[in-house]
Structure 1
């Protein structure tokens, strides 16, 4: 069995990391990193070597809040404080504006199965783009709250908002609405509307690769696991648990110091998931067995973002100072770090995994 190894990337972003995304397809192990330094970075993990080479940086007008790959390792989409959704041709560096929101764009996700790009903005709207027809204007969906996290499964997209609101949309229905010759008079209705199982603000959402459900995390050191199926039996399976907490010293009154759970990522092969928190740790969880499989060594700062490669062999970990002490005099320069962990063959394998 190949042992696990971990290395630090030599040329990380200069400010806080906002998101990480591995490329589709395993032939090119490319990694996109978006940053508050107004750049998107493209790395490639060298075969057989403990290093990731920086292939290029793509500057934006404002901090970039999210990034994802498109249909190939040469296509990326970004969302940022400049209120724009952009497509980047990674081979030429050309940037094209896909749409403009009236406020900052917080999230962007791509569905390869349906050729849909979905952007979520703090103007409380979703823009749904048909990437198979770039000239077609995006469909706008009004949201009842400001979105904070979005994730897509093969058939669903989950939008977590303020006031503990969670809306789930059906991707085939959205694709069908966009494929009609004219824009629909009314955008499709939500597939499901839920209230978050967590009592505090949602920080991250990740969908199960088997299309069965999703996990959410909050600023208050908790993770919830839920299933899409709306039957009483399925809903009875949902659960939440405490994590990313540390015992406070007795001289400070004891109890727990609670940290935000900033990042979630499901393993694409085994369906287990990783969580990253403000306590500087990453943990691996078995969603079915409801247990923690392992916790890795503490990183020097808050874990801001996580991503598994498509083959599940690599876990990218973005580390930078958190905002727990406020924004005054904040600087991620020199403290922002990017780690790549090469997992052992069964490292992420859960109890019930085949």
Structure 2
């Protein structure tokens, strides 16, 4: 699966699903600067990448500061382009069952990641049918939704971050045998501005 992000004008990221992330700098001509080779170790994402999103500099310059990379193993990596400290780059687990049954935990793919255009916090959606809001700087979860009857396959914020939209549909994560044509696809809209406010530290 390929994933692509170009939310910030100066940078776009492309991933073909082969654990190679291509960074492109946008100018009058799109030129390849270099490849990021994120094999297993560098971002601790041990499985295929599923989605990628760029976040901006907190100082308000609008310049790209880094990106979040979601994987099929229920994990998100936060990576700065130029990290002030190696500790700024980290991963966190998400879209997993709270408890374990017979010693096993259910782990779901992260289907999409979006950063709030005002607060800089982020939303993730997954194959577990839930959306979650996160504060990457405080490294904490802000909100977790109830599970929908199908996976959440995609999400987006409107231009001023007042509305959060998410699509509920089968994402094929369990294969064709679990596809049910009787289940309808939906797009939901919800007010979200206050829910995405960063945690006071």
TM-score by length of 1: 0.50
| Aligned mate of 1:225, from 78, 83, 98 | 78
RMSD of Structure 2 on Structure 1 (CA)? 2.2
| Aligned mate of 2:38, from 195, 201, 212 | 195
Aligned to 2:194: 346
**Deviation sequence 1:139-190 (CA, Å, 0-9, x none):** xxxxxxxx61110123111112333111111112xx2x37xxxxxxxxx332
Q: Runs in 1 of length 4+ with deviation above 6 angstroms?
A: none
Aligned to 2:88: 237
Aligned to 1:26: none
**Using the alignment, how far apart are the partners of 2:111 and 2:17 within structure 1?**
16
- Equivalent residue runs for 1:154-233 within 5 Å: 154-172=9-27, 175=28, 177=29, 188-195=31-38, 197=43, 198-210=45-57, 211-229=64-82, 233=84
* 8 A Cα contact 1:273 1:285, kept in partner: yes
Aligned to 1:270: 119
Shift of 1:263: 1.0
**Using the alignment, how far apart are the partners of 1:236 and 1:156 within structure 2?**
23
**Using the alignment, how far apart are the partners of 2:171 and 2:142 within structure 1?**
25
Q: In structure 2, do the counterparts of structure 1 residues 332 and 227 end up closer, same or farther at CA, with 3 Å as the change threshold?
A: farther
Gaps of 5+ in 1: 1-146, 179-187
TM-score by length of 2: 0.85
- Equivalent residue runs for 1:90-169 within 5 Å: 148-152=2-6, 153-169=8-24
Aligned to 2:128: 279
* 8 A Cα contact 1:268 1:308, kept in partner: yes
**Deviation sequence 1:193-237 (CA, Å, 0-9, x none):** 2415111111111111442111010111101111112x5x34441
Aligned to 1:316: 165
* 8 A Cα contact 1:156 1:168, kept in partner: yes
* 8 A Cα contact 2:3 2:17, kept in partner: no
Q: Which has the higher contact order (CA 8 A, sep 6+)?
A: 1
Work out the number of aligned pairs and report it: 190
Structure of larger gyration radius: 1
